[in-house]
Structure 1
Amino acid sequence: MPTAPPFLIRKECPPGACECRHGELLDAWERDGETDIRILRLTREEEKALIARIEAVDSYEALGRLEQRMQELLGIRLTITPSANGVRTVMGLQIKLAEQPGLCRRTRENIPAAIRRCFGRHPEIIYALLNARDLLRAEDDAS
Structure 2
Amino acid sequence: MNAPFPIRTGCPPGACVCDRERLLEDPQGDWRVLRLTREEEKRLVQRLENLSSLQDLQRMRERMHAQLGISLHITPSPNEVRTVRGIAILVQERPGLCRKTRQAIPAAIRRSMESRPEIAWALLDSYDLLGGA
Question: Structure 1, unaligned stretches of length 5 or more?
Answer: 136-143
1:130 deviates by 1.1
Matched, 1:74 2:64: no
User: Higher helix proportion, which one?
Assistant: 1
Q: What is the aligned counterpart of 2:107 among 110, 113, 120?
A: 113
Partner of residue 15, structure 2: 17
TM superposition shift of 1:134:
2.3
SS of alignment partner, residue 134 of structure 1? coil
| TM-score (structure 1 length as normaliser) | 0.87
Q: Which residue of 2 aligns with 1:50?
A: 44
TM (norm. structure 2) is 0.93
Q: Secondary structure, in 3 states, of the residue corresponding to 1:81? A: strand
Shift of residue 27 of structure 1? 0.6
Aligned length: 129
Gaps of 5+ in 2: none
Deviation at 1:86, TM superposition (A): 2.1
Secondary structure of 2:26's aligned partner: helix
Cα deviation per residue 1:63-117 (whole Å; 9 max; x = unaligned)? 1101100000000010111123321001001100011111101001100100000
Q: Paired residue for 2:30?
A: 36
Residue deviations 1:37-88 (CA, integer Å, cap 9, x gap): 1000000000000001101111011011011000000000101111233210
| 2:88 corresponds to 1:94 | yes
Residue 5 of structure 1: how far off its partner (Å): 1.2
**Percent identity over paired residues:** 54
Structure 1 runs (4+) deviating above 6 angstroms are: none
